[in-house]
Amino acid sequence: MTDRYILALDQGTTSSRAIVFDHSGRVVSVSQKEFRQIYPHPGWVEHDPREMWSTQAGVAAEAVVQSGVSTASIAAIGITNQRETTIVWDRDTGEPVHNAIVWQDRRTAGLCNELKARGLETTVREKTGLPIDAYFSATKIRWILDHVDGARAKAAQGKLAFGTVDSWLIWNLSGRRLHVTDATNASRTMLFNIHTLQWDDALLALFDIPRSMLPEVRQSSQVYADTQTSLFNATIPLAGVAGDQHAALFGQMCTGAGMVKNTYGTGCFLVMNTGEQPIESRNNLVTTIAWQIGNQVTYALEGSIFIAGALVQWLRDELGIIRHARDIEALARSVEHTDGVTIVPAFAGLGAPHWNANARGAVFGITRGTQAGHLARAALEAIAYQSIDVVRAMEADAGLRIGELRVDGGAVENDLLMQIQADLLGVDVVRPQIQETTALGAAYLAGLAVGYWNDIAELRQQWHMDRRFVRHARAEDVERGLAAWHRAIRAAKAWADAAS
């Protein structure tokens, strides 16, 4: 297998990426291209599905060319994707009927509030593991059917297809023949029963969505089809799919119950492997499918934080206090502490464990002496504090204390952020040598399906640590900071409640 490779497609929130991996899990080549973020109204976020596909197709071809290997040497393609983002397209023309509605989009928060007021949250959570929230796909599909001219009539005739981003990519890679998804992405729609592993008719009726729109649900690691596209001069098996956070959990080799990873991207996503049994959260976390390999389903607890790296982008793009995202570390190091400044980055509401759609961002503790460095350091602390809230909720649900936190994502290059996280969390934060863990997880799932790797035990041997961050801060300083953080959270919620 040393002369064969795996191609991973990583379709994220802001860019499309493609990575070629060799048999040791080493990155051979990378290609990446950003695409437009569309904001039609405050709180609305859209992508152009055509641009998502064209950029993903472009970087896939480019990564193979850059690798210097032939298409015939690509053993399989694995796909990982931003989750919950909703695309509806015409089965006959293959054209989207509307822009993709992105996971961050809050346009259906009112509908979600209506459903919760009807007392439906318990029913939905028991079946799907999810709270009723605009974050997930179901109400986004409903919105498209209700607001796009002719969409509901076409859907009733079986002419429309719904898919999360993985389904859209597979549809195009397979020559518009295959309409499928995997269990991880299905589990994020608010339409999939994670216990029966089936689309739920009662939920489809609740959201008024025809079953004919839905893709077939497959395992996370199996051969779906061969490519039928002019991108490559040979066919390649499409063999592994997982939503980005599930793929990152697998790429981090968090394959034992109780292992936890945190991905620091646009948002923060903490996921705990809970083994073969789903754990019902009593602390506002999400119960989800980690992956399905063969007949074995592995479950997880997840806490989704909406704003993490996006907070750094805000400091760069809107406030202009840094020129590049990487500059935040040096700016934050220019001061020893935040001087009492606390940022609550609720730009799109608060995710886990608060799930407050009305909350908005706030900055507390500003004085005449507040400097850019204080804001930069407070931003890094806000990312870490949000993660602590989720970890503590996970520990309460699972009835255990985590031993370490494995980390990945673009922000883990920031040593100061990682140290702050270790200081505030009180457990070791471990950064792997190969940090492309999301794409690597998709590659692993695809490779297992075609026998490129033998089993998970072989994959575990490939995981190696880059650096371990341990706590240096004094416990009393940490407790004081946590108290200020939770006071700021309460204040941000109160401000939002007073306005509603």
Annotated binding site for ATP: 13-15, 266, 309, 313, 410
Question: Residues at the annotated binding site for sn-glycerol 3-phosphate?
Answer: 13, 83-84, 135, 244
- CA 338/CA 336 separation, integer angstroms: 7
What stretches of 118-226 show up as alpha helix (H) in DSSP? 121-128, 138-147, 151-156, 165-173, 183-186, 201-207
Question: Residues at the annotated binding site for ADP?
Answer: 13, 17, 266, 309, 410, 414
**First-to-last CA distance in the chain?**
60
Question: Residues at the annotated binding site for glycerol?
Answer: 83-84, 135, 244-245
What's the chain's length in residues? 500
- CA 13/CA 269 separation, integer angstroms: 13
- CA 421/CA 404 separation, integer angstroms: 11
- CA 367/CA 250 separation, integer angstroms: 45
CB atoms within 10 A of CB 24: 9
* Helical pair 109-117 and 138-147, crossing angle rounded to 10 deg: 110
Classify the C-alpha dihedral 105-219-301-404 as positive or negative: negative
Q: Which residues pair with 19 in a beta bridge?
A: 8, 30
Going by DSSP bridges, is the β-strand pair 180-182/216-218 parallel, antiparallel, or unpaired? parallel
- CA 222/CA 225 separation, integer angstroms: 9
- CA 52/CA 35 separation, integer angstroms: 7
DSSP per residue, 151-176: HHHHHHTT-EEEE-HHHHHHHHHTTS
Q: Which of 5, 455, 12 is nearest to 265 (CA)?
A: 12
Report the 3 state secondary structure along 268-334. Answer: EEEEEEEECCCCCCCCCCEEEEEEEECCEEEEEEEEEECCCHHHHHHHHHCCCCCCCCCHHHHHHHC
Question: Would you state the structure tokens that stand for residue 98, as one six-digit string?
Answer: 């509307």
Question: Residues at the annotated binding site?
Answer: 13-15, 17, 83-84, 135, 244-245, 266, 309, 313, 410, 414
CB 24 within 8 A of CB 37: no
